[in-house]
Amino acid sequence: MCGIWALFGSDDCLSVQCLSAMKIAHRGPDAFRFENVNGYTNCCFGFHRLAVVDPLFGMQPIRVKKYPYLWLCYNGEIYNYKKMQRHFEFEYQTNVDGEIILHLYDKGGIEQTVCMLDGVFAFVLLDTANKKVFLGRDTYGVRPLFKAMTEDGFLAVCSEAKGLVTLKHSTTPFLKVEPFLPGHYEVLDLKPNGKVASVEMVKYHHCRDEPLHALYDNVDKLFPGFEIETVKNNLRILFNNAVKKRLMTDRRIGCLLSGGLDSSLVAATLLKQLKEAQVQYPLQTFAIGMEDSPDLLAARKVANHIGSEHYEVLFNSEEGIQALDEVIFSLETYDITTVRASVGMYLISKYIRKNTDNVVIFSGEGSDELTQGYIYFHKAPSPEEAEEESERLLRELYLFDVLRADRTTAAHGLELRVPFLDHRFSSYYLSLPPEMRTPKNGIEKHLLRETFEESNLIPKEILWRPKEAFSDGITSVKNSWFKILQEYVEHQVDDAMMANAAQKFPFNTPKTKEGYYYRQIFERHYPGRADWLSHYWMPKWINATDPSARTLTHYKSAAKA
């Protein structure tokens, strides 16, 4: 996890423009470099480093003797870089995983390069010999990337939008900043004056398709067919592999543990893999909640079962409410469910950074979208429509859960790893017949639970624990987080403000006082940038007025049972 920033064709003083790069310093607390491009006085790279691999040669932009015309700035982890090196007999100059991008590009061009990367990434690649600039981002957008481009060819890119909004350019007083789409790469021509022109934007991978790099994988051979035992076996192989490949780091690994199914499976598998790799330190797991929260109790059970060194972080409603402003600033969104769920994750990341030496943090993000874990999937009209909705959620992860997971951890210089969004695991899961993946017997994620039924990885009652939204599970059933928030904003936003909401905020008009309150904070930090969020996250197939799982009928009946 690092912070990348680059400008091409700037007509303002670079030493002034580079102050914008400091807005993302939290992403790389270990080192900073600012470098001009030879021969292009108005082009430069900025890089904030979190040293996770190769502490000696890991600074960026990466340049190697063999390709003096290539400049690479990337944020991410490429898990198959050693396999690719062995297979193609590349000669590496560093131990940095990202160096593989330079070799693959030289060998087969940009299309082949992005398709061969097994990992999470956002990059800017400059080829001064062929006068090209390339931008690329991983399938699910696990690593963030924003860009701004003017009609006269000024291009600015950054890991977070906050590093671009204050940039100056002569032709526009208001620079349009937008997220770079996941699963895409863009080719741009570099002109002699340092400006660029977009040539093409290409979607190189759909989450359903098996990735090209699978051909070079050393995963145990999967068994063909859709017999339930075959499928379960394949899922276990792929999930184990997804966790194992993510152990790649020189820094200490920890794990978020909410006590839900997903984080529990990740923590249990991670601990097993660390033991097999003979890692010398105990796995530390972290749970957050208010007193008597269901998450804390469940996480404790899992930690006892797997034998992790477990930490519980307590917070009260006042601390949660006080964090809202900095959380929304970090997130760069005003989506209601994202803000709610981010507070706990932001506070626990703050605790980990301050009190431990863990830097790489595993978590269960992406599972709900992939395995149809949201409670409203019980209402899906058909398996095919459920499948369609699952894929829509995966496409939009970069606006919601993945955004939350990245920004709340990166704000405190931590790097998040999410095994459920592994290319091989997710594409296999999505290739299964739609009816296999739907909720069964009133239980969501039935197939995933069944897969680990006999493994004794986690306690049975956790394996079959019903879905609990993170923002709800951290508080007690009697008074959930969303109710605490709503009671607070009731005194901050009055009816007259709500009556005027459509006029004040014509785009994505907030329908509730809570939504209005978040939007106000967002507009204070990022005025006129509401279009970064195309729509609010909301459950489907039901008449929901609130995104909280606790407002849904299925949750209420489960709570009574």
| pLDDT tens digits, one per residue of 454-464 | 999 999 999 99
pLDDT at 232: 98
CA separation for the pair 444, 377 (Å, rounded): 7
- Tell me, which fold does domain 3-203 have in CATH? Glutamine Phosphoribosylpyrophosphate, subunit 1, domain 1 (3.60.20)
Give burial (CB, 10 Å; 0-12/13-18/19+) of 92. middle
pLDDT at 457: 96
pLDDT at 559: 39
Instruction: Tell me which residue of 547, 427, 412 sits closest to 115, measured CA to CA.
Output: 427
| Maximal CA-CA distance, the chain | 70
Give burial (CB, 10 Å; 0-12/13-18/19+) of 448. buried
Spans in the chain with pLDDT lower than 50: 555-561
Sign of CA dihedral 290, 294, 299, 301: positive
Q: How many other CB atoms sit within 10 Å of the CB of residue 474?
A: 30
CA separation for the pair 259, 228 (Å, rounded): 27
pLDDT at 478: 66
pLDDT at 47: 86
Instruction: Tell me which residue of 280, 413, 288 sits closest to 359, measured CA to CA.
Output: 413
CA separation for the pair 241, 225 (Å, rounded): 20
Give burial (CB, 10 Å; 0-12/13-18/19+) of 129. exposed
Please report which residue ranges of 6-158 form alpha helices under DSSP H: 14-17, 81-88, 99-116
pLDDT at 420: 98
Task: Specify the domain boundaries for CATH 3.60.20.10 within the chain.
Answer: 3-203
CA separation for the pair 200, 435 (Å, rounded): 38
pLDDT at 239: 98
Domain 228-559 CATH superfamily:
HUPs (3.40.50.620)
Which candidate in 2, 73, 207, 255 is catalytic? Answer: 2
For the segment 100-146, what is each residue's pLDDT rounded down to a tens digit? 999 999 999 999 999 999 999 999 999 999 999 999 999 999 999 99
Is there a contact between 310 and 300 (Cβ–Cβ < 8 Å)?
yes
Cα end-to-end span (Å), the chain: 43
CA separation for the pair 491, 513 (Å, rounded): 9
CA separation for the pair 2, 48 (Å, rounded): 6
Is there a contact between 211 and 427 (Cβ–Cβ < 8 Å)?
yes
pLDDT at 477: 60
Task: Specify the domain boundaries for CATH 3.40.50.620 within the chain.
Answer: 228-559
Catalytic residue flag (residue 2)? yes
Specify the pTM: 0.94
CA separation for the pair 348, 289 (Å, rounded): 9
H or E element at residue 407: helix 401-410
List the binding residues.
Answer: 97, 256, 288, 363-364
List the binding residues for ATP.
Answer: 256, 288, 363-364
